[in-house]
Chains A and B, each alone.
Chain A
Amino acid sequence: MSYEILGMAVLWTFLFGYVMIASIDFGAGFFNAYSKLTGKEHILTKVIQRYLSPVWEITNVFLVFFFVGIVGFFPSTAYYYGSVLLVPVSIALILLAIRGSYYAFETYGPTGHNGYAFMYGVSGLLFPASLSVVFAISEGGFIEITDSGPILDYWSLFTSPLTWSIVVLAVVAVLYISAVFLTWYADKAGDTNATNLMRKYALIWAVPLIITAGGIIYELRWHNPDHLELIIDLWWMFAISFIFFIGSVYFLIKKKNYGWSVTLLFGQFAFAFYAYGISKYPYLLYPHLTVHDGFTNDTMAISLIIVFILGFVMLVPSLYLVFRLFLFDKRYIQGDK
């Protein structure tokens, strides 16, 4: 495997990790706010806080890993994306700040405030929405390369149906992933009310999820036919993803084996996410930047890979420890500890 592909595979994997864990977190914040508004607070809040509080900083590092890693392996991305993303990413950062401070101020601090919980919940949906715009931009057609550098055409970006399909998909996916996961988590905690409520949410969001995902493929037909062709070549990966989706919804409907639901959920998104990633190859920014011309020098590539392996060897046991303590320790989940 060439260094480019190895680098991209590692980064994509961490991005996938971030998307999944962060979605659980974002969706949970939204459900929490929603339940406060509709007076079902007592059902959800406890479960959600048990899961979220210890892990949010770790989640954030996955994001940091991705953006530091991509500048390391593909320095030209800093130039192309850095120049054009000032506004969307700054907005995302402000939303992130609202979320980060919520943990600090509400969870560790004294009594909660409903307005804050509400902002927190909404920011959890706006944040993925603002970041998902980057995926739309990477499809090409919104950036013009001028003498003074790349320039983003905001008008065509925000009037493109493709952009909005991606944004909607991001939001729906967040709600779905989170609802499925929390169904399982609440079930483990032995909280029947919360389980039933989350299960209901999961089933509600399953339908729009699959409609918007299909919608994007339809939009690409107009926007970037080359890319669409590559996606069609990978039809089997998307098919597997779809089968996993059906499986996980099946267990939800049958009210059993929620563990399987979550496993299949991860499988579903893994296949879709990697298939999408592979279909984009070799472009980092269509059609201006490919993984080959954006790549760093070999010396740097090798040192980054060595550091990655060393870091990874230390990381896995520590992550395992966290999961054992907070996710799979029955007594912690149930609130005895």
Chain B
Amino acid sequence: MKNPNELQKKYVPDMGQKETEDLRNLIQSDSKKTIADYISRMKKTSPNRPKAMEYFDEIANLFGQRQKELQATKESGKKIVGYFCSFAPIELILAADAIPVRVNSGWYDAAKIGDRVVPVEVCPMVRSTIGAKMVSLSPYLELSDALISVSTCDGMTKLGEIMGDYKQVWTLPLPRVKDSAQSLSYWNKEIRATKENIEKLTGNKIDKKKLRSSIELVHKATKAFRRLQELRKGPPVIMGRDAMLVNQSFMWDDITRWTQKTEVLCDELEKRAQEKIWACPPDTPRVLVTGTPMIWPDNWKLPSLVEEASPQGVIVADELCSSDRILNDPVGVDEWTMDDMLHAISERYLMASTCPCFTSADGNEDRINWLINKVKDWKVNGVIYYVVRGCMLYAMEYSRVKKVLDTINLPVYYLDTEYTREDVGQMKTRVEAFLEMLTARIDF
């Protein structure tokens, strides 16, 4: 492995110190405003918002409490491992006594800085992450000692490479055909290699006991996570945006605390469901969002539009790797041996994933099945297929999803956008038209 001090800048142009700082301060102060704005809007939309959301509002401030905490733990000698894709085995990171944080960027303005390195055709999330790193914007990306990049889509593959200009990056090559035995054994070896890398970085050996307790820790989080999603099956007790924020804050929060707070939230929601206090009228159109991941704070425009529109919609489920897919699948260990635990971890990350980067003998059947299941169980009225420009894989799978959803007579709307605020007005019109159609269908 390269010595981090000898990293060469192969991609990124040199930027002046002053320009970097200016840009950072500008985006940072802007972003703080955006965060506050979105949270106040979320409060406004649901006047009787659950009290337990206060914690998540706080943790949603990327430049607040959690940054300080991470800084403090880093100074105490713990390592921080960043990751870009939900394929990164967080159990292994936790078992080595390091802290996993997901470092994808949702800043719109950072994407424009990223344009200096990669062309605009590239996925804006990738451009934005590059831009954020160029001006040292994201506190979690800055604090990471190493990054795990998974070669899922083209953007992610090269993002890992470009990030190599700044940090130690471990790229996990993901086999694209999921249901072959070779893929699994290959991926399993990669997971083992990652385990060794993490051990080398942290200096802590991952043993059976530690790995088991970290798997069980994540199990507890999954339990809370699934409980929250279950609650969204009934009449809306929580607005979709709030739930999405809870889901997403798992990416950077302390896992034990996150689990505890989510359980508190679920307790409150359960009580509300018994008392029949709904977050919005129960006949509000129920929307499912699928497609490109939406990253807090800036790229929150679609959920906001849906839930602030008139007629209003409520997001009851999504199929995003930034929200409902983060913790859905548990690591199922048969025998608590090191070998079996590693097998279980590699299976959980490879096989259970419904990422569109996969293909298989029957096409990406798993994603379709899972979508239909979500649509049926969460009683969805309409699907919004959200794609940002440059997100090839999601865009290409649209026709298939549409065909399948047509057979169960479910409206689906393809919404393409960019990392920009300029098209909000236009998007609003489109979303409202779709929601109006859904309302008409429900009344009919």
Partners in one complex: no
Instruction: Give me the interface of B with A, judged by CB distance under 8 Å.
Output: none
Instruction: Give me the interface of A with B, judged by CB distance under 8 Å.
Output: none
